[in-house]
């Protein structure tokens, strides 16, 4: 988790921007005073908004899913999307926690289609929902493209970008799996957006797959790049899980060995 490298983030910055929200590991580690967090996934954004506004109701709904958990319950929940925002958020959390390897995958119709996993407990953190809500209270939570979020960053703001990707051993596997998640065209759009934000005076920290052509692309645009080791457990391939080498991109030199005290 990137939260294990908290010392790579600057001690001071203005507004915090995170355009690929996911689990929000960096956000909840930093708890910035001013922030804009976003993602293109509408179900994810709904869940964060509900967590911010209705943590008690969300906790109650998730506990009910825990009490009824079984293969029958899982597939019944997966097959039906409720209209109520709180119920949708609880469904999202339940499916994401109960599915195989915590993967989020939809079919061409946008329907979640990951099979059930082996995990049996999904409510270990429900007593912390109020804390999550407090951290999210004054945050701007948006469903939008990453370019639109990064475009807002200006002098002294911090942008942390961790786009979706699957780590794989070789070039063919990288292309096969990542084109479905985050295409090469998207990678170029991200590079351009981060370059423009840096040139406006924003502080940039990004992680990505450790793929040589990708590193060269950032090197050519005068970013600092280095290897970062992070645990990944969500790959569909067993070989893609475990401690993996990733790419750390920044607008200033970072010493990974030197922790800030």
List, as one string, the DSSP characters of 86-123: HHHHHHHHHHHHHBGGG---B-TTS-B-PPB-S-----
Out of 4-8, 21-25, 91-95, give the one with best mean pLDDT: 91-95
For 189, other C-beta atoms within 10 Å of its C-beta total 16
Per-residue confidence (pLDDT) for residue 245, from 0 to 100: 80
**Cα–Cα dist 146/159, whole Å:** 11
Same domain, residue pair 118 and 54: yes
Per-residue confidence (pLDDT) for residue 4, from 0 to 100: 72
- Residue 90: pLDDT band with limits 50, 70, 90: very high
User: Residue 177: which domain range?
Assistant: 2-40+144-250
Domain end marker among 132, 156, 174: 132
- Give Cβ neighbours of residue 247 (< 8 Å, ≥ 6 apart): 207, 208, 209, 210, 211, 214, 215, 218, 225, 226, 227, 228
Query: Is residue 220 within 8 Å of residue 204, measured between CB atoms?
Result: no
Same domain, residue pair 207 and 235: yes
Same domain, residue pair 89 and 148: no
Domain end marker among 88, 106, 132: 132
Give the model confidence (pLDDT) of 33-75 as tens digits: 999 999 999 999 999 999 999 999 999 999 999 999 999 999 9
- Residue 220: pLDDT band with limits 50, 70, 90: very high
Q: Is 139 within the bounds of a domain?
A: no
Residue 238 pLDDT > 80 = no
- Whether this prediction's pTM lies above 0.85 is answered by yes
Q: Is 258 within the bounds of a domain?
A: no
Total domain count, the chain: 2
Residue 191 pLDDT > 80 = yes
CATH number, position 226: 3.40.50.150
Per-residue confidence (pLDDT) for residue 236, from 0 to 100: 44
End-to-end CA distance of the chain: 20
- What are the beta bridge partners of residue 243? 231
Same domain, residue pair 110 and 202: no
Q: Is 24 within the bounds of a domain?
A: yes
**Cα–Cα dist 201/207, whole Å:** 19
Same domain, residue pair 70 and 100: yes
CATH number, position 61: 1.10.1020.10
**Cα–Cα dist 60/142, whole Å:** 25
Domain end marker among 100, 132, 164: 132
- Residue 259: pLDDT band with limits 50, 70, 90: low
Q: Is 257 within the bounds of a domain?
A: no
Task: For residues 214-240, give the mean pLDDT.
Answer: 76
């Amino acid at each position: 988790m990137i939260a294990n490298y908290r010392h790579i983030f600057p001690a001071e910055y203005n507004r915090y921007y995170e355009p690929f929200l996911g689990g929000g590991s960096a956000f909840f580690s930093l708890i910035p005073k001013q922030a804009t967090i976003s993602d293109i996934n509408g179900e994810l954004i709904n869940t964060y908004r509900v967590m911010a506004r209705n943590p008690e109701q969300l906790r109650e709904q998730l506990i009910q899913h825990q009490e009824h958990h079984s293969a029958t319950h899982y597939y019944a929940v997966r097959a039906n999307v409720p209209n109520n925002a709180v119920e949708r958020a609880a469904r999202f959390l339940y499916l994401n926690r109960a599915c195989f390897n915590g993967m989020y995958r939809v079919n061409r119709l946008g329907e979640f289609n990951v099979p059930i996993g082996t995990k049996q407990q999904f409510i270990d953190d429900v007593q912390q929902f109020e804390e999550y809500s407090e951290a999210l209270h004054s945050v701007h939570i948006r469903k939008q493209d990453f370019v639109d979020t990064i475009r807002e960053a200006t002098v002294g703001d911090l942008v942390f970008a961790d786009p979706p990707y699957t780590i794989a051993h070789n070039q063919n596997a990288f292309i096969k799996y990542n084109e479905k998640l985050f295409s090469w065209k998207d990678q170029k759009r991200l590079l351009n957006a981060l370059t423009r934000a840096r040139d406006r005076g924003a502080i940039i920290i990004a992680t990505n797959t450790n793929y040589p052509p990708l590193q060269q692309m950032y090197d050519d645009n005068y970013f600092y790049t280095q290897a970062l080791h992070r645990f990944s457990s969500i790959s569909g391939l067993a070989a893609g899980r475990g401690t993996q080498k990733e790419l750390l991109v920044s607008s200033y030199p970072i010493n990974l060995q030197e922790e800030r005290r």
